Structure 1
């Protein structure tokens, strides 16, 4: 049971062409790649997901693909999950949609307070992402929540908690000490000229940690199979 690494795409924060950067991240060992592009039309996001799927399959890479907000794209491409934001469909509605579509993907959501995290679990979320933990380019001028708040969320929930915000190989040990299930990053990997080695450096720091997740993040071993637990089905 090891903590997982999520890489989240950002069209404004990458050095290499975005698709190339994501593929290189997968080569480096990213566990999850989340496509997040809130301003692009659905057809463009769909196309990027399909392209990434094809590249990973051609190279026999095992990174899971998630998409931000777009449950319709997650279902039609049969990827591993959808990640919901504050303005997305309600979690409970997506849980019902998953059941109607007979889709086995995970449903995650972003939370910023303990109460939000508890409500997300009650609504049926399979995991939450909590942050930002440290000062982050994504939230300039907004005070970080810190590792103490992260620990409170981890302690209160029985589903995986992924930490996000200002995390890199220099501070990941402090984050993992909370018992969180993994971390999510953007700039620490994509805003470099060598995403592959940036991922390897992060994964190396994570693997050296003596701290284990309180709850393991669900991971597919191959299409249709899962490890580290059972999928909630609505």
Structure 2
């Protein structure tokens, strides 16, 4: 199993180059890390292989400087090539057990889950953490299935591995997830669409601490 604990998931930044506005993604991730992001997932759907590889190597080194886990979304081959800390896969991607066989025992494997059944299966197959959502309506993933508070709580109660809530999360609505059992929040636009990425991340970290309160 990879080395991943609930504290790593407090504020989990998922990249999106939609809001670069002339900045590099590297610079934006650096601002998020300065603001206290505890985990980074590089998500690239459009980049060609060479550009993705170059960017992944640079951002992996940046995350290492901040001692923050760095995973690649979906692309197991890139994760293996650059020796990333792990990979995050969806329900329609490769299964956790197959990812584990390619990446090895020490890598972090995250799996998206919308139901208790999916969550338990992912745990059984060797997932280190689950991404559960969309917990709120989201504009960044148009095909996202909405998962309510009760379903999130049921998943958190059913599994022994850490859970990060994702989908439509803002600093205003984090409080609504209190008591669910989630270890943290995964955010895209709440960080990267902000004019002050570092400040927005810092505020999200403060608000997300409510999740660890009983």
Q: TM-score range by the shorter chain?
A: 0.7 to 0.9
TM-score of the aligned structures, taking structure 2 as reference length: 0.87
Picking from 10, 24, 33, the partner of 2:16 is 10
Picking from 132, 135, 138, the partner of 2:137 is 135
Q: What does 1:17-28 align with in structure 2 at a 5 Å threshold? A: 17-28=24-35
How far is the alpha carbon of 1:199 from its aligned partner? 0.4
How far is the alpha carbon of 1:143 from its aligned partner? 6.4
Q: What does 1:5-154 align with in structure 2 at a 5 Å threshold? A: 5-15=11-21, 16-56=23-63, 60-99=65-104, 104-140=106-142, 144-154=146-156
Is the 8 Å Cα contact of residues 26 and 62 (structure 1) preserved in structure 2? no
Is the 8 Å Cα contact of residues 92 and 123 (structure 1) preserved in structure 2? yes
Encode CA deviations 1:82-118: one digit per residue, 9 max, x unaligned: 001233222211111233xxx6220111122222112
More helix by share: 2
How far is the alpha carbon of 1:166 from its aligned partner? 1.1
Q: In 1, distance between residues paired with 2:62 and 2:124?
A: 36
Check 1:105–1:39 CA distance in 2 against 1; reply closer, same or farther (3 A cut): same
How far is the alpha carbon of 1:167 from its aligned partner? 0.9
How far is the alpha carbon of 1:139 from its aligned partner? 4.0
Give secondary structure in 2 for the equivalent of 1:12: helix
Check 1:142–1:80 CA distance in 2 against 1; reply closer, same or farther (3 A cut): closer
How far is the alpha carbon of 1:189 from its aligned partner? 0.4
Give secondary structure in 1 for the equivalent of 2:182: coil
Is the 8 Å Cα contact of residues 111 and 130 (structure 1) preserved in structure 2? yes
Consecutive unaligned residues of structure 1, counting only runs of 5 or more, are 213-234
Alignment RMSD (CA, Å): 2.1
Consecutive unaligned residues of structure 2, counting only runs of 5 or more, are 1-5
Is the 8 Å Cα contact of residues 63 and 70 (structure 2) preserved in structure 1? no
Deviates further, 81-90 or 24-33:
81-90
